[in-house]
Amino acid sequence: MWSATKGYRLRPWRSPYLRWRLETYSGKKAETIRAKDFWDLAWGERAQALRFLRWLSEMRGYAGEGGES
């Protein structure tokens, strides 16, 4: 999220990348996405986002294993 909102950190719903992702995920046109749409989706999908972050952490752990000798 931090990387995806670079330049839009105080208003992440204005990020072109996040608008595109929200459009893809929700089917709502990117030009019509407002702050409420962003926060509704973020709140509604928080459990899935946490699962993804745990999975990402696990994958990064695997990528770091055996790399140092």
Please report how the helices 35-44 and 46-64 are oriented relative to each other, as an axis angle in degrees rounded to 10: 70
Whether 69 maps to a domain, the answer reads no
Cβ-in-10-Å burial (0-12, 13-18, 19+) of 63 comes to exposed
pTM of the model: 0.57
Whether 3 maps to a domain, the answer reads no
Residue 66 confidence (pLDDT):
45
Residue 53 confidence (pLDDT):
82
In the block, tokens 């204005």 appear at 14
Number of domains the chain contains: 1
Residue 24 confidence (pLDDT):
87
CB 22: neighbour CB atoms within 10 A? 20
Report mean pLDDT in 10-residue bins for the chain, 69 residues. Answer: 75 86 86 88 88 87 63
Residue 47 confidence (pLDDT):
92
Q: Give, in order, the Cα–Cα distances in Å from 60 to each of 19, 20, 29, 32, 47.
A: 27, 26, 33, 35, 20
Whether 59 maps to a domain, the answer reads yes
